[in-house]
Structure 1
Amino acid sequence: MTVIETPFLHHQQQNRHSSKRKFDDDDENNNNNVSDDLVSVRMRKDETKTVNSWSGGGGGGGGDGGGLLKRSPIQFFIRMMSEGNNIVMHAYPEENVKSIHERIQYMKGIPLFEQRLIYRGKQLQWEQTLAECCLQNDAILELVGRMRSTEHPQAWQVVNDMVSLVYRLCCGENVHVPDKIVKGLITTYINLALTPKPKLDADSANGYFEIFTSSSAPSVLVTLYVSPYPGNKLCADSCIRHFLNLCRSTLSKTFHTQAARVALEICKLLRRVGSHDPLYLYCRSSLGVLLEAAEISCASSEAENVRGLILVQDIFPFVRELADTLLMNLDLSIDSPSLACPLLSNVGDFTSFLIPLRTGIKEQRRLRNGSVPYHLHYRNSLLIEEIEYLHLLYNQMLCKVDTCLQKMEQRFIRKEMVQEENYFYPACSLYLSILKELNQIAKLYDGAQEKLRSVLVRQKNVLRMLLVKYAKRTDEHQWILEHKNVTDFETRRHLAMMMFPEVKEDYEELHEMLIDRSHLLTESFEYIARAEAESLQSGLFMEFKNEEATGPGVLREWFLLVCQAIFNQENALFVACPNDRTRFLPNSASKVHPLHLEYFSFCGRVIALALMHRVQVGIVFDRVFFLQLAGKSVTLEDIKDADPDLYKSCKQILDMDSDFIDSDALGLTFVREVEELGHRKAVELCPGGKNIAVNSKNRVKYVYLLIQDRFVNSVSEQVSHFAKGFADILSNSKLQQFFFKGLEPEDLDRMLRGSEYAISVEDWKAHTEYNGYKETDIQISWFWEIVGRMTAEEKKVLLFFWTSVKYLPVEGFRGLASRLYICKSHEPGDLLPSSHTCFYRLCFPAYSSMPVMQARLKVITQEHICCSFGTW
């Protein structure tokens, strides 16, 4: 990065009093001190010497004795880009740039407004003197057209106007509402970049931000920030934040890389003001956001930096700075969790800065030759020092987090965490966030993943507690699912459920459905399949036509009924496994229905919505279906439940004596017989399969291709559409495959089917409260005695009548959203019980005898009685 090399504010103040200056040793020291304060425009020693040699005495070139140096003109060259030759000029150091432009106009006839002088990559401002520009003897300046010779003339004009105004403010000039004017010019500049162009590519984006840097806008703005004049600091603070906010919120990714270059230059300059300066911290965070959004790699040398990408050397000072802060405060966070709050933002910045570095290392690792030593492999790509530092940092940070988790577990044991859950949330979130980043870094170094895994296994108990208690939907803790051996069902389920949006409580935001029971599947399809995915993510509001009830209880019943219809084999969408009629996989013959693929998308949405609403629907997916949704391959052992006969046949083929199968006694070729719409046809498992006999050498391949064709290829479209429908309901559709990868097949079984155990009356009773009755009332004693004598199916029907819950969660009654209630009704004593399923309330009058109560309960435990909520 090149900046203005002279403290021009100080020089400008000197010039406002006299065109002749005197330098002695004391003055020189004072000048250097001032320039140290102006961090964005520090002057190099050789240039200080040059400026001093320019300074002279009185006019006419005569000296005035004492400490005065003789003034002399300097020679420089103007390179004419259009003509290909140079103009030789002589001028005094105190002359301003505008006078040079005027002489060029006189010599070449080029209007002033079209001229732009570039020196050392920076545009020279009219108000600057040649001394302030550090122009040396025999310097070469480039003259380019300000308007006609640039690709973005309007952008040049806007930035030049802004720099000129800020320069005047630095010189102490009073301007009415300067921050409003500067921010207006910045907004205009950004809007110009956003204006649709016929061809907007990386080169165009690069051009826009080269304008901003070439015109010295970043350094001038930072100079305004450290300016001693009243109001300038606030003005600069507001304008710099405004620029970065616009870059983050309005620019597309096409511009993010170049916007990051500007943010980087501002950060470097502000860093000299102080590493704790509020504006610096804000700019550093903004730079991290731009780096993360740009998804760029870092170059390791200027030679690789041909497109103006960020250098490794540029990024690493910020990585070190953030890492030092994190390491220093990690130990303190366990005893003072409030310290973790500011560190959470540091972890976010830390991650953002590491993204391009990790990407660069990954790219080089793909090219890595195993015979080349690790450190030599990177010698010409990424810097060895940075790579080694990152590895060292990984080990230090992993050790620190390990210690913190040990202390946290002790607090759990002492039950301090339970009493002060909110107090400890920042620290817990901090440790999980750091572990997430360490998980990414570990993939870059040999042996690092094993170290991380050992820590996770050692701390698995406290990790499970942290994840279940403190993982939020806004967090990204899915990384832990890569380490299933440190998780349990409760942890995996909790993290999977965090991938769904939260169901809204406001009925106005819910997707409303009014469905006729007699057309349940077709009307449900219209409401769900035709809806926008965003409208379903808020939740559902369900009502059956001509029925009184609404609310969550009705919705729970609808889920059960629509899933019964979806997986009813008469509808040909799914087939049940022979040995478990509640376990299903897609039907390859579903194409008999012209809308079958749309129905599979509908099915995916329904299952995802059932999970989101935490409704157990009583069905599960066969293993081969689950594996395809998780993007995993299907093997012979996986088809055991889906097709036991085929499984046995394939096992026999693989176990047969080689001589017997080579004798062609089976007469098998690479063909599968398929029955479709009542007709049988032969499908080749590979090109020319009907002419390839199965033998001892190719039988493994035959079994593999047979399984792939039978369970994968034949239903690939159905699975794909189901997965797309499921992804529509997730908060991020990209999480679909990861949702299934993070679970075991048995986990999803438990989430969809619920508890496999018989309903426990004691558990039921323990989670029931009373309203109008007391637990000691005779009617309550009769009730539980009658329930205890019911069959398993009658208990399910009674529970469904009471709550619209037919399948309990795996935790039993404890897993329900609410406790259950038995309420005393004041109706005549012979009426049937009633229920408010939304609130888990069962109401019945004070029956006169146990036989009367039993008769009434017998009526409602008949399946057909529970199929509606009353008509009107």
Structure 2
Amino acid sequence: MHAAWDDTVGAVLGHLAERGFGRDLRLVYAGRQLASKTVLAELCLPPDSTLHLLSRLRSTPYPDAWQLASYIVSIASIARSDPLNSAAVSGLDDLVKEFILCAHRANQRQRHDRDSPIDAQAMGDQAAHYLEIFHEAGVPFALVGLYAAYPHSTIHFYAGNAIKCFLTMDPSALPPDVLPVTAPLLLEFCGMLSLSVGKEDELYRSCRSMLASVLCLPSGLPASLKLKSPSKLIEQVLPFAEEIVDAVMYELASLEMTVSSKNLEDLSNFFKVLRQQALCWVPNGGPLPKNLYNSERDSWVWKLHDISMNLLNRVDECLKKLEMDLSLSSESRGVNVSQSRWVARSHMLVVLTQLDFISMIYEDLAHNLRLVLLAHIDPLNALVRFSKRNEHLHWLVKHKDLLCFEARRNLVMMMLAEGKDEYGELHEMLIDRAHLLDESFGYIMQAKSSELHSGLFMEFKNEEATGPGVLREWFFVVCQALFNPQQVLFSPCPSDRKRFFLNGTSAVDPLHLKYFIFSGRIIGLALMHRVQVGITLDNTLVLPLAGRSIKLEDIRQADPVLYKSCKDILKMDAAVVDGLELTFSRDVHELGSRRTIELCSGGKDLRVNIRNREHYIDLLIKNTFVDSISVQLTHFARGFSDILVDPELRKVFFDFLGPEDLDRMLGGRSNTINLEDWKLHTQYNGYKEKDRNIIWFWKAVEGMSIEQQRDLLFFWTSVKFLPPDGFGGLASKLYIYKASESADRLPSSHTCFYRLCLPAYPSLKVTKNQLQKIAQEHVSCSFGTW
């Protein structure tokens, strides 16, 4: 080392201590200890003098750790002074692994020594002490020094391998109880590697990436870092995060705008820990006043804001390019042709997600993020529509007004289980049509939610047909039976008999609560399997599922009489309202008896007047459609939540959906079928489009009523109500195969493959007659082959 003449002995010792040579150091010359305050010039040392560095040994409860750490340092020192002796360091990695194993064993002993259970943080106490010794003994300094001293050499390779012992998530190499407490050590490695070998070194980048991963472990920050203030920790981590942001911005500036998965992962991890610590520091959880981070240009507050704004500006530029690309694609080939390219750009959503996380701290960042999304609605929707499963996109619920139906649908479908393709993992059901609802109830209710997440395999007793077509049919007929008013579970809206709300008198059935769980599961499964069952849920059912209150306009379809009465009360003069002699209560008739329910405490004695009538109507609606059926609603919600990948996502699921979105996903298209769209999505085998049999077929279909067309479609595909995007939303094209049967035979179908086998009928009249026979509801069900 080099020192100035005016340096003191104490300054030299302090420098050595900072470089990992330990504490309580002393310098000795000619057997005499040099005083700490003495200036080097006063010592008058002759040239080439030898000074001895001594350190006092203190008692320690971890002698084995100190001994092993000192041995590693000595091996590294020998190799550094004698680079030709590479054999001395060939086992450095084994020594480091042995040290890690010792830390793990110490944790195990601690666990066995304690009678009561201890948490994960306490379990890492011993490992943390061991790694602190690893640091204080100067091992990181010795290993990095050896790694940097002889690049591209065998010694360089061995030293790198020793450091890499801490750069793995493999439990066999770095036990789970040791891994979380490596963060301080990784910070040390990153700092020294950055200074000694530079930021382009591969080992440094790996160390930086590992630091980001460890800091974001579920077990949280190790105690040694938690003791520091959030501000101090952010100051330590921010430089590494800034490097990752620069790398991501550089990649986004490329022609393809691609970002490596590793950089995306590191960006997410660093931003996560920065956000967590910043929110601990921000008063009242944020956001920060703008003047605070604009005035302190040298603080981490301003730097984090600055790099986040720069990243947002770069994303804005990328979205502009994507918008141009989208415009060109739609003009030339169509958006669907470029779907794979949009999937490849899904990393844009990852970056936007991280910026949203940081926007919780900075109000103007949140504002600018909104402006960027607003300016680029089309590419935003394309990215979301074609995005693969990503559980971190729930923040987009704040911007759902910018998202099209297809984008919102994709986001909620990510919250439902994917299902399995393997036959052995599907939940199998064998149903007797004569006992359809009872047996379906048994199969679904006996299954664990995890079993239902795998998917369903369905067949009817004494029928050969199996496969997706039969499953679609089962969903349809079960829902028709389940929502039949005779089951007293759901009531249809008077103006729309396919729209349902909960029946407050369902308690007449002793199993009604279990059937509400069953109903919730069925609805969730139908959505999961993308089956339109032809029924929709009224707002009075959907809004409570989303945790939202029901307003007067929401009951218009469920109870038009109550709706009109409430509207009339709001229009009345004060004298007329007083004349009604209403109180904050309502009468309920149940099983032939009548009882009065108070809408609030003392409601029977509280008169409704012009000043409190709006409050009265709010309480009346809440009691009628929420409070009085809260138990039924809770069980329905529980069943639906069973189908979500995370039951806690139920509110977010329904928050994403607009008033008509769930109708389209569950009920399908309820209007007329577009015959031209039907023809466009139909292909032929054995026939040609201009053959007379095909022309007769479409003429016969054109002459059918809408219900007959639906029954024919159901016979053909087991789909009675089309997806929101029409025939194009089906799993495949439809097919008409030329059948070899005689003209007296009816058509047959293979519903799984959307295949209709049509005999060559001799005339239009025969074609109409044969199609009319199968276009009947009692025939179209269960008539397909498979």
Please tell me the TM-score bracket, short chain as reference. Answer: 0.7 to 0.9
Secondary structure of the corresponding residue to residue 637 of structure 2: helix
Write the distance in 2 (CA, Å) between the matches of 1:25 and 1:639.
Answer: 85
Secondary structure of the corresponding residue to residue 581 of structure 1: strand
**Of the candidates 557, 568, 588, which is equivalent to residue 473 of structure 2?**
557
1:593 partner amino acid: D
Q: Work out whether residues 481 and 487 of structure 1, in 8 Å CA contact, stay in contact via their aligned partners in 2.
A: no
Change in 2 beyond 3 A, CA 1:177/1:602: farther
Q: Does 1:351 align with 2:268?
A: yes
Write the distance in 2 (CA, Å) between the matches of 1:421 and 1:817.
Answer: 16
Q: Does 1:503 align with 2:422?
A: no
Change in 2 beyond 3 A, CA 1:158/1:794: farther
2:447 counterpart residue number? 531
Write the distance in 2 (CA, Å) between the matches of 1:24 and 1:653.
Answer: 91
**Of the candidates 394, 397, 419, which is equivalent to residue 481 of structure 1?**
397
Cα deviation for residue 637 of structure 1 reads: 1.8
2:629 counterpart residue number? 715
1:207 counterpart residue number? 125
1:102 counterpart residue number? none
Q: CA RMSD in A?
A: 4.0
Q: Does 1:671 align with 2:585?
A: yes
Larger radius of gyration: 1
Q: Work out whether residues 420 and 454 of structure 2, in 8 Å CA contact, stay in contact via their aligned partners in 1.
A: yes
- Using the TM superposition, name which of 732-741 and 178-187 deviates more: 178-187
2:142 counterpart residue number? 223
Change in 2 beyond 3 A, CA 1:749/1:423: closer
Q: Work out whether residues 261 and 310 of structure 1, in 8 Å CA contact, stay in contact via their aligned partners in 2.
A: no
Change in 2 beyond 3 A, CA 1:310/1:842: farther
**Of the candidates 307, 310, 318, which is equivalent to residue 396 of structure 1?**
310
Cα deviation for residue 326 of structure 1 reads: 2.6
Write the distance in 2 (CA, Å) between the matches of 1:690 and 1:784.
Answer: 65
Change in 2 beyond 3 A, CA 1:524/1:393: same
Q: Does 1:56 align with 2:30?
A: yes
Change in 2 beyond 3 A, CA 1:325/1:56: farther
Secondary structure of the corresponding residue to residue 458 of structure 2: strand
Q: Does 1:617 align with 2:545?
A: no
2:679 counterpart residue number? 765
Change in 2 beyond 3 A, CA 1:188/1:559: farther
**Of the candidates 548, 552, 557, which is equivalent to residue 464 of structure 2?**
548
Cα deviation for residue 460 of structure 1 reads: 0.5
2:366 counterpart residue number? 449
2:300 counterpart residue number? 386
Q: Work out whether residues 548 and 870 of structure 1, in 8 Å CA contact, stay in contact via their aligned partners in 2.
A: no
Q: Work out whether residues 180 and 214 of structure 2, in 8 Å CA contact, stay in contact via their aligned partners in 1.
A: yes
Deviations 1:350-379 (A, max 9, x none): 232222332344455563899x97666999
Q: Does 1:781 align with 2:700?
A: no
Secondary structure of the corresponding residue to residue 216 of structure 1: helix
Q: Work out whether residues 165 and 173 of structure 2, in 8 Å CA contact, stay in contact via their aligned partners in 1.
A: no
Gaps of 5+ in 1: 1-6, 8-22, 72-92, 95-129, 136-140, 147-155
Cα deviation for residue 790 of structure 1 reads: 1.0
**Of the candidates 236, 245, 263, which is equivalent to residue 162 of structure 2?**
236
Cα deviation for residue 442 of structure 1 reads: 2.3
2:346 counterpart residue number? 429
Q: Work out whether residues 546 and 871 of structure 1, in 8 Å CA contact, stay in contact via their aligned partners in 2.
A: no
- Using the TM superposition, name which of 588-597 and 197-206 deviates more: 197-206
Cα deviation for residue 425 of structure 1 reads: 4.8
Write the distance in 2 (CA, Å) between the matches of 1:369 and 1:320.
Answer: 22
Q: Work out whether residues 761 and 767 of structure 2, in 8 Å CA contact, stay in contact via their aligned partners in 1.
A: yes
**Of the candidates 9, 12, 19, which is equivalent to residue 41 of structure 1?**
19
Change in 2 beyond 3 A, CA 1:612/1:222: farther
1:725 counterpart residue number? 639
1:149 counterpart residue number? none
Secondary structure of the corresponding residue to residue 582 of structure 1: strand
1:280 counterpart residue number? 204
Cα deviation for residue 544 of structure 1 reads: 0.5
2:776 counterpart residue number? 862
Write the distance in 1 (CA, Å) between the matches of 2:45 and 2:649.
Answer: 80
Q: Aligned ranges for residues 92-111 of structure 1 at < 5 Å?
A: 93=52
Write the distance in 2 (CA, Å) between the matches of 1:39 and 1:497.
Answer: 57
Write the distance in 2 (CA, Å) between the matches of 1:183 and 1:672.
Answer: 74
Write the distance in 2 (CA, Å) between the matches of 1:810 and 1:411.
Answer: 26
Q: Work out whether residues 104 and 127 of structure 2, in 8 Å CA contact, stay in contact via their aligned partners in 1.
A: no
1:751 partner amino acid: M
Cα deviation for residue 701 of structure 1 reads: 2.1
Cα deviation for residue 69 of structure 1 reads: 5.2
Secondary structure of the corresponding residue to residue 483 of structure 1: helix
Change in 2 beyond 3 A, CA 1:397/1:179: closer
1:293 partner amino acid: L
**Of the candidates 425, 434, 437, which is equivalent to residue 521 of structure 1?**
437
| TM-score between both structures, scaled by the size of structure 1 | 0.77
Cα deviation for residue 161 of structure 1 reads: 6.0
Q: Does 1:629 align with 2:548?
A: no
Q: Aligned ranges for residues 822-833 of structure 1 at < 5 Å?
A: 822-833=736-747
Q: Does 1:459 align with 2:376?
A: yes
Q: Work out whether residues 796 and 807 of structure 1, in 8 Å CA contact, stay in contact via their aligned partners in 2.
A: yes
Secondary structure of the corresponding residue to residue 740 of structure 2: coil
Change in 2 beyond 3 A, CA 1:234/1:580: same
Secondary structure of the corresponding residue to residue 785 of structure 1: helix
Write the distance in 2 (CA, Å) between the matches of 1:585 and 1:191.
Answer: 60
Q: Work out whether residues 604 and 725 of structure 1, in 8 Å CA contact, stay in contact via their aligned partners in 2.
A: yes
1:233 partner amino acid: A
Q: Aligned ranges for residues 728-767 of structure 1 at < 5 Å?
A: 728-767=642-681
Change in 2 beyond 3 A, CA 1:804/1:394: same
Write the distance in 1 (CA, Å) between the matches of 2:687 and 2:50.
Answer: 109
Q: Work out whether residues 247 and 256 of structure 1, in 8 Å CA contact, stay in contact via their aligned partners in 2.
A: no
1:76 counterpart residue number? none
Gaps of 5+ in 2: 34-42, 80-86
2:47 counterpart residue number? 67
2:188 counterpart residue number? 265
Cα deviation for residue 501 of structure 1 reads: 3.1
Change in 2 beyond 3 A, CA 1:864/1:489: same
Deviations 1:631-681 (A, max 9, x none): 2121122211121111222222233222443x4x22222212122233221
Secondary structure of the corresponding residue to residue 637 of structure 1: helix
Cα deviation for residue 297 of structure 1 reads: 8.4
Q: Does 1:405 align with 2:319?
A: yes
Write the distance in 1 (CA, Å) between the matches of 2:252 and 2:421.
Answer: 39
Q: Work out whether residues 577 and 642 of structure 1, in 8 Å CA contact, stay in contact via their aligned partners in 2.
A: yes
Secondary structure of the corresponding residue to residue 363 of structure 2: coil
1:508 partner amino acid: G
Q: Does 1:312 align with 2:231?
A: no
Q: Work out whether residues 823 and 844 of structure 1, in 8 Å CA contact, stay in contact via their aligned partners in 2.
A: yes
2:38 counterpart residue number? none
1:291 partner amino acid: L
**Of the candidates 333, 352, 357, which is equivalent to residue 440 of structure 1?**
357
Identity among equivalent pairs (%): 41
1:604 counterpart residue number? 520
Q: Aligned ranges for residues 303-382 of structure 1 at < 5 Å?
A: 305=227, 311-332=233-254, 335-337=255-257, 340-342=258-260, 344-363=261-280, 365=282, 367=284
Secondary structure of the corresponding residue to residue 683 of structure 2: strand
Cα deviation for residue 54 of structure 1 reads: 2.1
Q: Work out whether residues 834 and 844 of structure 1, in 8 Å CA contact, stay in contact via their aligned partners in 2.
A: yes
2:143 partner amino acid: L
1:316 partner amino acid: L
Secondary structure of the corresponding residue to residue 762 of structure 2: coil
Write the distance in 2 (CA, Å) between the matches of 1:376 and 1:830.
Answer: 85
Write the distance in 1 (CA, Å) between the matches of 2:278 and 2:553.
Answer: 39
- Using the TM superposition, name which of 270-279 and 513-522 deviates more: 270-279
Q: Work out whether residues 209 and 262 of structure 1, in 8 Å CA contact, stay in contact via their aligned partners in 2.
A: no
1:536 partner amino acid: L
- Using the TM superposition, name which of 506-515 and 359-368 deviates more: 359-368
Cα deviation for residue 39 of structure 1 reads: 13
- Using the TM superposition, name which of 681-690 and 725-734 deviates more: 725-734
